[in-house]
Structure 1
């Protein structure tokens, strides 16, 4: 296993275990199966395990596996505070203590603000007393390092990096998100600021493997070097020195073994010209299904009404390249969970954005099209519910 350093010089395995996707047995995680897979990963040198309060049953499963095998001290445990569900610092404390009970531990190595999406949200948390709470937890040793996970654009990500003395951060990043979400710009900015970067969705929830267009799958079938979609996507990440740890939601022994092998063999600079060529060809096949030719450059921003224009188009395109459910889920995360929502339907057709678009996209027209498909009844109901929770 290869290891990279965190902010304080500790070794983090290049491959991290994302615990959101344990195989289900009824309504709960298949604990015996998950235990075999987790322990195989630990034996292979994986030492970073990521879960969250809102991953149904997963904190409990992780806690039980670590307890059964007496291996808590062998690994770094990361979990997350769903700040969007709390209204007071007492609520933060109550939720944190529940997480400790679920995980059967008395400390968390890496604790994250889950889906921290904008500055106003962080300012609201500060008013509740979050900074003092963090100081107390770090002083007591109950939290070793503090960070945040992020879904949004690169500009806001960079602002969040600067708003607090974070120890690490976590972003969605893969070869299709190179210039969207936090993107390569955010990755490198965090690195320049001394922050380790944990990567989530390296395969976009498996969509860069299982939901590739048939033409892209054919490229891999014809590949003389027999590279796999997962291997190439992970190598693309390990090639970059700014990447600290790549999370994979492994739920089979085969996935554990293959991903451990890739992580063990893939150093910075591992990507060959042939690898890059194949990735570009795959990207071209995926892009054939996109609806809007947005590159995510952000020249159209900021929108006077707060619309996340590049984020909207990324999710709109994902509906057609990866599936409607996937695109709508990402859109909900990127627009409704912010303190100030950024939905496409907020557009007033002022046209300011179109004056700055290098691709000369008819942004106003395409935002209307995107809103019509992304903001279905389910989205509107969930957005309303999220906003009511924020007011409560």
Structure 2
């Protein structure tokens, strides 16, 4: 197992165990099966285990397994505060104390503000005293590293990074999301500030493996490296020194062994020119199935009325490449929950965006079509309700 370091020089395995997708049975999480998988990962060098308050049964299962096997002190637990439910200082203690109880521990190694999407969410936490609360918990040793997980645009990610002295952060990042959400720009910005970055959704929930077009799968099989689609995706990430740890929601012994094998020799700078060319070809094949030829260059931005054009087109393409429900959910969380609305319905058809688009996309027409698909009436209503709840105050 390869290791990289946190801000204190402590080792973190480059492969982290994502605990959101534990196998379930009729009674909840299959503890016996999950225990075998976690212990196999531990034996192969994984020392970072990521869970969250809202992952049903996950914290309790992880805590039970670590305690039963006597390895709590030998691994790092990462879990998350449901910041979107917090409205008072008392709530901070309520959720944290419950998590400690579930995890059967007296401290958390890596504690994250969960699912940050916009800078105003941090502003809200500051108003309930989050800075003082974290300082107290760190001083007592109950929290050792503080961070946040993020789904939103690059600008707000950088804004949150600059708003506090974070110990680490967590972003969605993979070769298809290279220029969306926090993106490469956000990754490199964090690295320049000396902030370790943990990666979630490295294979977009398996979609860069199972849902690859057949043409892309055949291209990968034709390579003499012997790498699988998953291996290319993971090695592309680990090739970047700015990436500290990559989370994988492993739920089979075979998956654990395979990912640990890859993580045993994946080093920064080891990706070859041929590897990069292959990834570019795969991305091009995936793009051939897209509904609009947006490259995410952002030359169309900023929109005078705040429409997030690249985000809308990226999710619109997802409806063809993955599933409409997954795409609509992503749009709701990355665009729908921004402090200032960024929907296509705000467009006044000034045409400024089209003047700068290198792809000559008829943006004014396409954003209307895209909005109908990614934000049908039930989603419009749902987003409005959630906005009122999460962005209040």
> What's the TM-score, normalizing by structure 2?
0.95
Structure 1 counterpart of 2:338: 338
Alpha carbons 2:118, 2:337 under 8 Å: kept: no
The answer to whether structure 1 residue 67 and structure 2 residue 75 are counterparts is no
The answer to whether structure 1 residue 245 and structure 2 residue 283 are counterparts is no
What displacement does 1:361 show?
2.4
Alpha carbons 1:216, 1:282 under 8 Å: kept: yes
Q: Secondary structure at the match of 1:20?
A: coil
The answer to whether structure 1 residue 367 and structure 2 residue 367 are counterparts is yes
Within 5 A, what are the aligned runs for 1:372-383? 372-383=372-383
Distance between the aligned counterparts of 1:131 and 1:23, measured in 2? 36
Q: Secondary structure at the match of 2:145?
A: strand
Structure 2 counterpart of 1:234: 234
Unmatched runs of 5 consecutive residues or more in structure 2: none
Q: Secondary structure at the match of 1:42?
A: helix
Cα deviation digits, residues 11-52 of structure 1 (max 9, x gap): 000100011111121262111111110110011110011111
Structure 1 counterpart of 2:152: 152
Distance between the aligned counterparts of 1:173 and 1:235, measured in 2? 13
> What's the TM-score, normalizing by structure 1?
0.95
Structure 1 counterpart of 2:94: 94
Distance between the aligned counterparts of 1:140 and 1:357, measured in 2? 53
Q: Secondary structure at the match of 2:20?
A: helix
Q: How many residues align?
A: 392
Unmatched runs of 5 consecutive residues or more in structure 1: none
Alpha carbons 1:117, 1:338 under 8 Å: kept: yes
Distance between the aligned counterparts of 1:43 and 1:80, measured in 2? 25
Alpha carbons 1:100, 1:106 under 8 Å: kept: yes
Structure 2 counterpart of 1:257: 257
Structure 2 counterpart of 1:162: 162
The answer to whether structure 1 residue 316 and structure 2 residue 299 are counterparts is no
Distance between the aligned counterparts of 1:307 and 1:89, measured in 2? 35
Alpha carbons 1:4, 1:13 under 8 Å: kept: yes
Within 5 A, what are the aligned runs for 1:73-222? 73-222=73-222
Seen in structure 2, the aligned counterparts of structure 1 residues 106 and 234 have a Cα distance that, compared at 3 Å, is same
Alpha carbons 1:6, 1:12 under 8 Å: kept: yes
Distance between the aligned counterparts of 2:281 and 2:269, measured in 1? 20
Structure 1 counterpart of 2:384: 384
Q: Secondary structure at the match of 1:319?
A: helix
Structure 2 counterpart of 1:17: 17
Structure 2 counterpart of 1:48: 48
Alpha carbons 2:4, 2:245 under 8 Å: kept: yes
Cα deviation digits, residues 163-209 of structure 1 (max 9, x gap): 11111111111111111111111111100011001011110000000
Alpha carbons 1:121, 1:338 under 8 Å: kept: no
Distance between the aligned counterparts of 2:375 and 2:287, measured in 1? 23
CA RMSD of aligned residues (A): 1.7
Seen in structure 2, the aligned counterparts of structure 1 residues 52 and 349 have a Cα distance that, compared at 3 Å, is farther
Q: Secondary structure at the match of 1:244?
A: strand
- Residues 196-205 or 344-353, more deviating: 344-353
Q: Secondary structure at the match of 2:277?
A: helix
